[in-house]
A and B are shown apart, each in its own frame.
Chain A
């Protein structure tokens, strides 16, 4: 009703006292809103401070100390970082970790191929999608044990399969040359379903009109894939590359289960595995923390470069 009152009547009844009372009411109302807003904000802020900021600050400090993880810390400046530079096992583990990244483009190429295949109307499409996704939801520890058996040089499934084609397979996990590729194959297999699912969604979201226009222009299947599909799924590729690199840098469980001593000639030891060894087995938590921070910084740099490159290659179909 108030909104329909004539303007002159409304002005006549609106006094200074009314304005003050209204401001007071509004302030009270806003105060309540502020309290609620703070309450909602508090949970993530506290979580961030307690579980990210504080541990990170603590880690940074710990990396400058001699600390065994159970006793008192002693500040030793950059000594841990100096030791790290001259530690051959750090570099070996870092190299192994980088080597594992070979699996990322292989996995992405395979999952894109699978996504393209399974986006067509073929018989048993749902079945295959489910089959490829099962490793994603399976326990990594259980999978690692199964693959350990599969890689057994004597009677493992992998070598039995290769024997069908007359190939004498290596003793995968006991051979310094083949241990890393063996772990990469397993990691690719494990991650295939997840990448495939994201690619599947991206492939199906590509407007059909683009393909139709390309067909009218006489483009063949390969040209359509290269000029339409690949650019259109680039955001998914970017997301997968970033998350796979971060995940790959943290590879640990499968190594610890399948090659608990770091593999033949230390060929499978990843940096996180080495950090864990130093922290919990060799009582060198301070040194382990310095390695963890270096790894974190390296991942940050690689991710920042990727974001920059992605921005440079960004495009729009508008």
Chain B
């Protein structure tokens, strides 16, 4: 029984980082808000770099509630899409599905605002609570200085893109 040698670590990292970058770079709104992603294995953390244009309450000042919602929604959609293409990516499909992969569509999204968003960087991580073939349910948490003190959390439902079966093409 022969087993192939594990791939060199830099090749594995490069493949994963390239696929993630391709996924994120496709969406203009993610660039506009300035959201990026940190990756540890398959785990993603969304990072919202603070900018003055994100302010919603100039008196406090605080990040706009809509920006917070958008950041959590982006983290949810990218995490869903990333997770669903992970297996194909790891199976050595060189392109992954990234360029052709359609993004999940938001059905509904509910945000709890727990504290005001301070004028600094924010982080978010999404957990897929159920990933069906058509529908997915996601819970996402956002924090700033302390991981245990969330400034917002949200749950959302998403319609998954329907993959074409090979015999359809």
Do A and B actually bind?
no
Chain A contacts to B: CB under 8 angstroms: none
Which residues of B line the A interface, CB within 8 A? none
